[in-house]
Structure 1
Amino acid sequence: MLHEAIRRPLLCLRKELHHRMEWRVIIICLVCSPSMFMEMRSLFHFWFCATGLGSVLELHSAVVSSALDILLRPVSWGISVELGQRLPFSHAYFPSQQCDLLAILTGPLSCESFLGLVSYINALVHLDKTKTSHSLLENLQLQPPRGLVKYNSAWSMIINFPVWFNFATALLFHREGSQDHFSEILSKEIISESISDLSLAQRAAFYLSWVLCPSNDDQRQMLANNILELSHSWTRNNKKRPSYYTSIVNHRRKLQIPTAGDSEKFNVPTNPVSSLIKDFDDRCVKFCSVTAIPQGQAEEPSDFCPSCHNMLHLRIPLGVLLVSSSCLNEQSCDMLLRYTSTGQVLESNEVQIKTKNHANNDGFSTSCRGVSEQWALSGAYLIFGWLDIVEDMSLVIFDCEDTCHRFVSQLRTKTGPYLLKCVKLLLEVLYEPDQDRDSVTDLHNRLLNWKKNGHCCEAFEDIILQMNKKFNLPL
């Protein structure tokens, strides 16, 4: 399963776990034996800590999600009602000391629940500091706390629920005046529960820094401070933008994207997204060593497919897209998606460079030898995977199905142009002889799902038709 996940980065793992019979049988067997399920989780944890591969984390999360879905809807997995009733409760599949944490992670996704999650983590950090202090008195030597990254730790459990990481990135950049669907939901709860935006941003910064630096308290605190300052800087820049005042004066009026002249008038950078990316890369990335590419890798970075490495820390700026997508133009979205998928910081004018000029014909494989193939595959991998998480998150957050659909549709519209560039370049590689048929099928399935959900422009439809004709694929 892990080999497939690494070899086929565009594969939708949760669908595969449900539809591919041999995989489904494995998951059902694990669910029938909680002890084996926990053994499987510990194995995934060790693999992830040893390799840093995002594919390991993604498969681990997919298996956990599928197991919980089996417990909730056993019949949909082909399990009889009688057997389903005999399955243990969900807490039997996780460490006994984390029952309360499991209840939070599988409960409602809200500001109040998030504050509860952060309080839980704070208590763990305080307890770990206390244990470390006692250890220092006994051993007279300073050692970083390691308890938070054990296979049965809260950290190992929390990273299997990526919706909370996405939710934290949204809270980090949410401020009064944002009129996107997600921001409106957050604003309503903030007002009704009397929660301050600043308090949420502080806790979001703490949560994100803890996930990225769980075993080094000093680095975590510095990272949290830098992430929070990034949030404040984004807020200050947006308050100077004409679109901010337009939204405050008239909520019904469509947000306007400021021109270069408007930006000079309000003394704000022409492209605040560019400033955000540069600040984040300069001040935050250096602290994110735990979930980034392991420093001990002997090979060159170019020898690895970027989509396989866990670049969770680079997804923090995507919180801007969640809460302020209507304020971002295509150029800003391209810049944001290019950075979060590859880690490359580009100037505004560099985004418009035609990457086709740098393409080569080395082929499409997990080694990703061509520079253009790297960013194309990484971009498609990011957008498809991130939107999968966003859809899960929106189903929990929005009460109205229509609002949920509009929210996801808006994000697909914003990410669509960049995805189209990635897909076109991937097709140039896939059309070459002796290419992996599975890669073609995975991309085709992703595009069909994109079309099925009503977010398929004419260009995507043309690509689907071309693939159907070229590779004899089913409609």
Structure 2
Amino acid sequence: MNRLSEITDLFARLASNLQTLDPKGGNEDQACDLSIAKLNQSLNLNENSRVRVLDTALSLMCFKAPQVFDSVIEYLVKTIVSVLSSSITCKVLRFQKEEVLRIGSVIPSHDCTELIEVCADVLGKLGGHGMLSHPLLCAVVKVAVSASHFRYVVQSTPIFEVKSTDWRITNVSKLLSHLPKEISFKSQEIPLRLLLWYLDPLILKEDVSQILQDAIRRPFLCLNVAFYERMDWRCILTCLVLSPAMFIETRALLHNWFLMTGLASVLELQIELVSLVLDVISRPMWWGIPMEVGSKLPFSQSYFPQKHHLLRTLAGPLSCDNFLRLVHSTSKTVSHARRHSDSTLKQAAIKAARIDHKSMWAMAMNFPDWFFFASPRSSAAAARYIAWILSPISESHQDLIVNCLTKISESWTLRQISSDNHYKGTAGYNKLKKPKFHDNKECHTVLKEYDCSYIQLWLKEFQDIYTMNWKITVNSSACCDAKSSSGISLHQNVLFRRIPLGILIGCSGGIKEDGCELLLHYAATGIIPPLAETRTAGLKDRRWGSRAQEDSITWTEKCNIKEAVAGACLVFRLTDVIEIMSVSLFENEESGVEFICRVKLRARKYLLSCMKKLLHFEIDEDGGGLLMLRDLCSRLIRWRHQGRDVFQDSMDLNDAIEALSHKLSSS
């Protein structure tokens, strides 16, 4: 019974039995009795027979009508599942001296349209029989996935069915509403969602798009926590881990979206997925994957078949040695491309290959912590790596950016008092050293604390060096915090704006709180406010929402909601990076914790200014604003305890949390 007509006849019988029970009302016992009467009639020798076989058997075994009805449905579903499973075979076809191995269903692909349609109709009626819906759905999807795209007019003479995939676009979507939210590993079978991805790749695109839309609507959502706690997201992540091919497809999809849109949220999701997949394959049981399945997961090379040697460095600890290896690898690629760029056509192909999803640059973009690791280091290696990230296509632009970064570094160095400062001079590739991260005590004795006016002058010089001398533009929309365009200015580049954060990372103790606030605001928005608007008192000794605070108009209060969101997200992101960097930059844990706390103290004022703006955010009817504020509250609580809680007596932070909690409770 492998012909489609016989299988659809079974579905018709199942649908007929399900239809007997009216879901909109009526007496269930009467409906079941009617179904039994029909079954009884089919078992009798003829319509006039007085021998009631089924009635007698039911009376002797004390079965009730609903039990019989459920049994009829159950065994009919099991019969259909068995028939569908048996249609998938492995067979050797011989024609003259040739042999063809055919693995898959004997049902051709073009016949699966009707099969999916009747299955979707029956699944809708099996609502009260959830345990039966899943095996039936799995059986149909397996047949559709393994269905042959060839039809055989004569044995061993395959003809490709050109229209064989047209039905997928409109029919597979009918099965999506019946997908389970969780994955069951009891039978160690391929998850149903993964089968549907193979059946129709548009479903994968839709799943990734839905996650991306949620991440955009909720900018403060901690993605790694969400992927663990939300079962539907964890199911998607698990399917990506179980199928390296689908993970590669997803990474390529997000990378192409990023190149087309330049949206930072797209890149952030791609970064998080890469990190999570590496985490799942390293500790699968923590993610709910049983040991027998986790032990069979492939190695990282299966997920990153291109540039896998680079992955070992990028995914390794942040250290000077690893950074030098990374710079040498990228420099070698650039020099190789220069030697093999003969024709214009070949140059275009090489440039396109430098930024596609298989490129070394695409791999490096998935590990942005190295960019922050390079920013506080005034060396030729650091400048070269930053330039390569900012402009992966044009070598001439890279050289210009290196010169720009060198002048910027010299400008900052000339403004330093201490000759012992780690920003002085430029080291060679092999002389990269750890910068000296001064604590607050050292800053009072060695360095003076630079205020907002000083930082503002340096930031203007930072922009002028670029604007007056080179007018560098990026040839593609990659790395840009704007809509797709072929001529985005480099200073609009979100990563370019974050270069000055190297000062905050490497010399946080030598910059006053308002100076740090200006650095963060520029990195988040690209805006340098006028000097007159920066001369305001700090938040010290002023209660949150006090009259004195409300009377003072600061430049951060003039920012819009979008800029406030970007600013708060930057503070949280920077703290996460600092936490990762502290492990490799300091010899003991206590020094690393002090480093995290020092940066947090300097970033506090700017974060509170952003929060004050966000508290005026009107919550929309669909609850999107409410979710955003809830995520903000969760991130703020986590941020407060990162490293160590240094805000026990901070009245302004306590008042901010209280105001946020009050707004949430009253919504």
Task: State the TM-score, normalizing by the size of structure 1.
Answer: 0.78
Paired amino acid for 2:656: I
Tell me the equivalent position of 1:223. Answer: 401
Q: Do 1:170 and 1:319's aligned partners in 2 also have CA atoms closer than 8 Å? A: yes
Tell me the equivalent position of 2:26. Answer: none
Q: Do 1:257 and 1:329's aligned partners in 2 also have CA atoms closer than 8 Å? A: no
1:10 aligns with 2:188: no
- 1:112-163 per-residue CA deviation (whole Å, 9 max, x = no partner) reads 111110000011101111221x335xx6988873321011100001011011
Q: Do 2:260 and 2:484's aligned partners in 1 also have CA atoms closer than 8 Å? A: no
Q: Residue 339 of structure 1 is aligned with which of 502, 519, 522?
A: 522
Higher strand share: 2
Deviation of 1:92 after TM superposition, in Å, equals: 1.5
Secondary structure of 2:240's counterpart equals helix
Once the two structures are superposed, the pairs formed by residues 46-445 of structure 1 within 5 Å of their partners are 46-96=256-306, 98-132=307-341, 134-136=342-344, 145-172=351-378, 201-239=379-417, 253-256=441-444, 271-284=453-466, 286-287=471-472, 289=474, 290-294=478-482, 296=484, 311-352=494-535, 371-430=559-618, 436-445=625-634
Q: Residue 639 of structure 2 is aligned with which of 418, 440, 450?
A: 450
Counterparts of 1:252 and 1:110, CA distance in 2: 24
Counterparts of 2:360 and 2:242, CA distance in 1: 23
Counterparts of 1:253 and 1:458, CA distance in 2: 24
Deviation of 1:336 after TM superposition, in Å, equals: 0.5
- 1:272-305 per-residue CA deviation (whole Å, 9 max, x = no partner) reads 422331122233485363412356569xxxxxxx
Counterparts of 2:215 and 2:291, CA distance in 1: 31
Deviation of 1:269 after TM superposition, in Å, equals: 10
Paired amino acid for 1:130: R
The two structures, once aligned, show a CA RMSD in angstroms of: 3.3
Q: Do 1:243 and 1:255's aligned partners in 2 also have CA atoms closer than 8 Å? A: no
Tell me the equivalent position of 2:165. Answer: none
- 1:287-332 per-residue CA deviation (whole Å, 9 max, x = no partner) reads 363412356569xxxxxxxxxx971221111011111011000121
Counterparts of 1:462 and 1:270, CA distance in 2: 25
Counterparts of 2:451 and 2:609, CA distance in 1: 27
Change beyond 3 A, Cα 1:212–1:141: closer
1:38 aligns with 2:248: yes
Higher normalized contact order (CA 8 Å, seq sep 6+, divided by chain length): 1
Deviation of 1:211 after TM superposition, in Å, equals: 0.3
Give the greater-gyration-radius structure (CA).
2
Counterparts of 2:292 and 2:603, CA distance in 1: 45
Paired amino acid for 1:129: R
Matched positions, count: 412
Counterparts of 1:243 and 1:399, CA distance in 2: 20
Q: Do 2:451 and 2:511's aligned partners in 1 also have CA atoms closer than 8 Å? A: no
Counterparts of 2:396 and 2:415, CA distance in 1: 29
Q: Which moved more, 1:283-292 or 1:448-457?
A: 283-292
Change beyond 3 A, Cα 1:252–1:10: closer
Deviation of 1:61 after TM superposition, in Å, equals: 0.3
Higher helix share: 1
Paired amino acid for 2:216: I
Paired amino acid for 1:404: G
Task: State the TM-score, normalizing by the size of structure 2.
Answer: 0.57
- 1:380-434 per-residue CA deviation (whole Å, 9 max, x = no partner) reads 0111122222222323444533222211111111101110111011112257887
Q: Do 1:356 and 1:425's aligned partners in 2 also have CA atoms closer than 8 Å? A: no
- 1:346-380 per-residue CA deviation (whole Å, 9 max, x = no partner) reads 34433246557997xxxxxxxxxx94323322210
Deviation of 1:49 after TM superposition, in Å, equals: 0.1
Secondary structure of 1:344's counterpart equals coil
Q: Which moved more, 1:214-223 or 1:341-350?
A: 341-350
Change beyond 3 A, Cα 1:56–1:142: closer
Paired amino acid for 1:329: K
Paired amino acid for 2:463: D
Counterparts of 1:16 and 1:433, CA distance in 2: 23
% identical aligned pairs: 34
Secondary structure of 2:499's counterpart equals helix
Deviation of 1:469 after TM superposition, in Å, equals: 3.5
Counterparts of 1:431 and 1:70, CA distance in 2: 36
Q: Which runs of 5+ in 2 are unaligned?
A: 1-210, 423-435, 487-491, 537-551
Paired amino acid for 1:29: C
Q: Which moved more, 1:34-43 or 1:379-388?
A: 379-388
Paired amino acid for 1:77: W
Q: Do 1:376 and 1:423's aligned partners in 2 also have CA atoms closer than 8 Å? A: yes
Change beyond 3 A, Cα 1:143–1:151: closer
Tell me the equivalent position of 2:41. Answer: none
Paired amino acid for 1:99: H
Deviation of 1:471 after TM superposition, in Å, equals: 2.1
Q: Do 2:376 and 2:505's aligned partners in 1 also have CA atoms closer than 8 Å? A: yes
Paired amino acid for 1:380: A
Q: Residue 26 of structure 1 is aligned with which of 236, 239, 247?
A: 236
